[in-house]
Chains A and B, each alone.
Chain A
Amino acid sequence: GAGVSQSPSNKVTEKGKDVELRCDPISGHTALYWYRQSLGQGLEFLIYFQGNSAPDKSGLPSDRFSAERTGGSVSTLTIQRTQQEDSAVYLCASSPYYSNQPQHFGDGTRLSIL
Chain B
Amino acid sequence: KNQVEQSPQSLIILEGKNCTLQCNYTVSPFSNLRWYKQDTGRGPVSLTIMTFSENTKSNGRYTATLDADTKQSSLHITASQLSDSASYICVVSANNAGNMLTFGGGTRLMVKP
* Residues of A participating in the B interface, judged by any CB pair closer than 8 Å: 4, 31, 33, 40-45, 48, 50, 56, 58-59, 91, 93, 95, 100-103, 105-108
**A-B contacts at CB below 8 angstroms, number:** 54
Indicate if the CB atoms of A58 and B99 lie closer than 8 Å.
Answer: yes
Indicate if the CB atoms of B43 and A101 lie closer than 8 Å.
Answer: no
Question: A105-B44, A107-B42 given as contacts; is B99 within 8 A of A45 (CB)?
Answer: yes
Indicate if the CB atoms of A105 and B98 lie closer than 8 Å.
Answer: no
Of B43, B44, B103, most buried by chain A (CB within 10 Å of CB) is B43
Indicate if the CB atoms of A93 and B43 lie closer than 8 Å.
Answer: yes
Beta-carbon contacts under 8 Å, B1-45 to A? 4, 32, 34, 41-45
* Residues of B participating in the A interface, judged by any CB pair closer than 8 Å: 4, 32, 34, 41-46, 89, 91, 93, 96-99, 101, 103-106
Complex A-B: 17 CB contacts under 8 Å: A33-B99, A40-B105, A42-B4, A42-B104, A42-B105, A48-B98, A58-B99, A59-B99, A91-B43, A93-B43, A95-B98, A100-B96, A101-B32, A101-B93, A105-B44, A108-B42, A108-B43
From B34, B41, B97, A107 is in contact (CB under 8 Å) with: B41
Residues of A within 8 A of B4 (CB): 42
From A58, A103, A107, B46 is in contact (CB under 8 Å) with: A103
Residues of A within 8 A of B43 (CB): 4, 91, 93, 105-108
